[in-house]
Amino acid sequence: MKTMELVFLLIFFSVTHSVRHSLTYLLTASSGLQTFPEFVAVSMIDEVEVGYCDSNSKRAEPKQDWVEKLVKDYPLHSEWHTDSCVSNYLILKANIAELKQHFNQTGGVYILQEMVGCEWDNETKEVIGFDQYGYDGEDFLVFDLKTLTWITSKPQAVIIKYECNSDKAGSDNLKNFLINICPQWLKKYLDYRKNSLMRTDLPSVSLLQKTPSSPVSCHATGFYPYRAVLFWRKDGEELYEDVEHGEILPNHDGTFQMSVDLNLSSVTPEDWRRYECVFLLSGVKDDIVTKLDKAMIRTNWVSPSEFPAGPVIGGVVGLLLLLAVCITGVFIWRRKNNGFRPANSSYMLSLESSSVRDADLS
């Protein structure tokens, strides 16, 4: 790759990176799911899970190394989240029972969810707070921070909306959390994350291929920070044709992964040696070059004549089980973007002044 092209790509990644950060709490209460906790709470920073609690453990658990350090430095903050997990489990459990009665529902699966938190722009300093609820996968109530009122498009929620709007103290309390406390916590979390993740992690790079006729995928995983470039080149020049770039995706440990596919259908085996995959990480001088070598390609493909019937059957059964798990996961996740709060229930993040002082990170 030419020097100016490389400089452009690295500058592009830096400039286009969003400076808007978010702290989000996702709460899910369910009824009728035998293999899923009745209540699950997940906290996320910039779409990465950092904390978890459910009705089985009844304990807030850090999901990142830097969060564990924060918990050690501010134990009362962790205790507040644990207390909130337990109290909101009981509240949402009672709420979902009340809703089932309100809608005359008996058997079946029902899901009540809330998404609450804030976004903060570290350049403009703009703060956006949000709190919204859903029931059985449909929007139910949304808090309007400008008017401090709950709004809904569902006729069934009109009465509940009026009752919620009559609680002026609750609305003021929620506003205080969304525009003051939540951003304060978010900034502190970002500082801890920055100090903990001020590092450079190089990835492991692999060549993958589903079948001999499939594109060869160059897969890099475990790198940090996210500002990276992965591409194929031939004879030292970057390729743009017969190449498909994947998105940069987060790993559970805070690192990232990405892939780029190369279609070799028109390439002769003799020319494979002219191709190589290149990984570049912002702030790292040397790149990682992986030569296109058939012996280095990892694949699960086996000739049909060499594939016994037993593993085929087992593989199909395993795939069906995997699909069942994935479908269940999508069913739950899609509903995390919506939420609802019944009347006269306390907000998960409603804070009395004493609780705020105990949980304060300033």
Q: Residue 282 is part of which domain span?
A: 210-300
- Measured CA to CA, the distance from residue 80 to residue 78 in angstroms comes to 5
**Which long-range contacts (C-beta less than 8 Å, at least 24 apart) are formed by 206-214?**
206/298, 207/277, 207/290, 207/292, 207/293, 207/296, 207/297, 207/298, 208/259, 208/297, 208/298, 208/299, 209/297, 209/298, 209/299, 209/301, 210/299, 210/300, 210/301, 211/299, 211/301, 212/301, 213/265
Q: How many domains does the chain have?
A: 2
In a domain, 4, yes or no: no
In a domain, 311, yes or no: no
In a domain, 187, yes or no: yes
Residue whose token pair is 């979902």: 96
Do 175 and 230 share a domain, yes or no?
no
Do 31 and 164 share a domain, yes or no?
yes
Residues 6 or more apart whose Cβ sits within 8 Å of residue 267: 275
pLDDT in tens, 267-315: 998 999 999 999 999 878 889 999 999 999 998 775 544 434 443 334 3
- Predicted local distance difference test score (pLDDT) of residue 78: 87
In a domain, 129, yes or no: yes
pLDDT in tens, 185-239: 999 999 888 877 666 789 999 999 999 889 999 999 999 878 899 999 999 999 9
Do 176 and 138 share a domain, yes or no?
yes
Do 34 and 99 share a domain, yes or no?
yes
Residue where a domain stops, chosen among 257, 283, 300: 300
In a domain, 320, yes or no: no
Do 160 and 248 share a domain, yes or no?
no
> What percentage of the chain has pLDDT greater than the value 70?
77
- Measured CA to CA, the distance from residue 40 to residue 51 in angstroms comes to 11
Residues 6 or more apart whose Cβ sits within 8 Å of residue 197: 66, 224, 225, 254
Do 149 and 189 share a domain, yes or no?
yes
In a domain, 193, yes or no: yes
Model-level pTM? Answer: 0.58
| Amino acid at position 112, single letter | L
State mean pLDDT over 6-13.
Answer: 41
Do 129 and 162 share a domain, yes or no?
yes
Alpha-carbon distances, residue 353 vs 9, 55, 182 (angstroms): 49, 26, 14
In a domain, 45, yes or no: yes
Do 281 and 340 share a domain, yes or no?
no
- Measured CA to CA, the distance from residue 45 to residue 48 in angstroms comes to 5
State mean pLDDT over 12-20.
Answer: 49
Residues 6 or more apart whose Cβ sits within 8 Å of residue 320: none
- Listed residue (74, 179, 160) closest to 120, CA to CA: 179
CATH, residue 259: 2.60.40.10
State mean pLDDT over 24-30.
Answer: 95
239-243, 256-260, 271-275, 339-343: segment of lowest average pLDDT: 339-343
In a domain, 250, yes or no: yes
Structure tokens at 265: 């259908």
- The three-point CA angle 230-233-237 to 5° equals 120
CATH, residue 146: 3.30.500.10
> Residue 60 class from Cβ within 10 Å (0-12 exposed, 13-18 middle, 19+ buried)?
buried
Do 341 and 232 share a domain, yes or no?
no
Do 258 and 345 share a domain, yes or no?
no
Report the DSSP beta bridge partners of residue 205: 220
- Listed residue (222, 336, 333, 335) closest to 288, CA to CA: 222
Sign of CA dihedral 220, 222, 223, 228: positive
Do 27 and 159 share a domain, yes or no?
yes
- Listed residue (123, 120, 129, 116) closest to 21, CA to CA: 120
Do 219 and 182 share a domain, yes or no?
no
Residue whose token pair is 């807030």: 60
Residue whose token pair is 């304990």: 59
Residues in the chain: 362
How many CB atoms sit inside 10 A of residue 45's CB?
23
Residue where a domain stops, chosen among 252, 281, 300: 300
